[in-house]
Amino acid sequence: MNKKIIAFIVGAVVIAVGCIGFFVISSNNNKTESNNNSNTNTTENENSNETQEENTNDNDNNNGTTNDKKVAIIYFSATGTTEKVAGYIKEVTDGDLIEIVPKDEYTSADLNYNNNNNNSRSTKEQNDSSARPEIKNTINTDHYDVIFLGYPIWWGDAPRIILTFLDSHNLDGKTVIPFCTSGGSGISSSVSYFKSHYKNVNFEDGATLNNGEAAVKNWVKGLNY
Ligand SMILES: Cc1cc2nc3c(=O)[nH]c(=O)nc-3n(C[C@H](O)[C@H](O)[C@H](O)COP(=O)(O)O)c2cc1C
């Protein structure tokens, strides 16, 4: 073989090896890039899923029962029925439970509405629109946005001690959600009185809660405050 032919074959082999090398390297690069891309996409997707999850959680926290508003359940209860209901409301709202304690406790004689002479303490108070029985404890309402206000119905109305509470606390601009227990009478006439006498307070219509724990909790969960 002459020298020219040998030089040609060597040159062709070098070029061929060079081309194969180039293709191998460039195809590896492409693979790496595409791997990188798919990694980036996966990470981005994961991140965006996390963000959505975070948002979903945020939304969960914005439902009617667990929001940023500060809640108190303030109640008067002479024989424990309204107190029990107040406890159910606390379980749902996680608000602060505050009892309105009368300075002079009501005895069973005081509460006797069957007294024929209409002269039991409770009956006399309800018959006197200016009666304001004293409250024993100090109640600070300043830092609450929403107040559930509970009481038994006495002669169709809120006990006068509830008016003592409303007269002596500035609830202007706050949301007040009344609730009551009773032997059957409804809450509406007491709420009408509140709305017409404490005009700067945002009274909601409230509810008569005589139907047990589940009904109370469902009512609270359905509120949007
Ligand atoms: C003085 C007095 C008056 C009452 N008047 C009414 C009334 O007008 N209508 C009614 O349905 N229940 C009436 N009740 C029943 C109470 O509203 C009911 O027993 C209530 O659940 C008691 O709540 P408490 O245990 O939290 O005090 C009266 C009870 C008392 C002691």
Confidence (pTM): 0.75
For ligand 1, say whether the CB of 189 is within 6 Å of any of its atoms. no
Give the pLDDT mean for 141-148: 97
For ligand 1, say whether the CB of 164 is within 6 Å of any of its atoms. no
pLDDT computed for residue 2 by the predictor: 60
For ligand 1, say whether the CB of 81 is within 6 Å of any of its atoms. yes
Q: Which residues contact 66 (CB under 8 A, 6 or more apart)?
A: 60, 94
Cβ atoms of 112 and 120 within 8 Å: the answer is: yes
40 or 173, which is more confident?
173
- Please determine, for residue 15, whether its predicted confidence score (pLDDT) is greater than 90: no
Q: Is 23 exposed, middle or buried (0-12, 13-18, 19+ CB in 10 A)?
A: exposed
Which of 58-67, 139-148, 193-202 shows the lowest mean pLDDT across its residues?
Answer: 58-67
For atom 23 of ligand 1, the residue with the nearest CA is 152
If you measure from the C-alpha of residue 50 to the centroid of ligand 1, how many angstroms do you get, rounded to a whole number? Answer: 53
* Cα 171 from chain centroid (whole Å): 20
Detail the DSSP E strand segments found in the chain. Answer: 71-75, 96-99, 146-152, 175-181, 202-203, 207-208
- Please determine, for residue 50, whether its predicted confidence score (pLDDT) is greater than 70: no
> Of 61, 60, 63, 59, which Cα lies nearest the Cα of 221?
63
- Please determine, for residue 27, whether its predicted confidence score (pLDDT) is greater than 50: no
pLDDT band at 117 (very low <50, low <70, confident <90, very high): confident
Which of 9-13, 74-78, 128-132 shows the lowest mean pLDDT across its residues?
Answer: 9-13
For ligand 1, say whether the CB of 22 is within 6 Å of any of its atoms. no
Please give the Cα distance from 73 to 90 (Å, whole number). Answer: 7
pLDDT band at 184 (very low <50, low <70, confident <90, very high): very high
For ligand 1, say whether the CB of 111 is within 6 Å of any of its atoms. yes
- Please determine, for residue 33, whether its predicted confidence score (pLDDT) is greater than 60: no
Look up residue 73 and give its two tokens: 């359940």
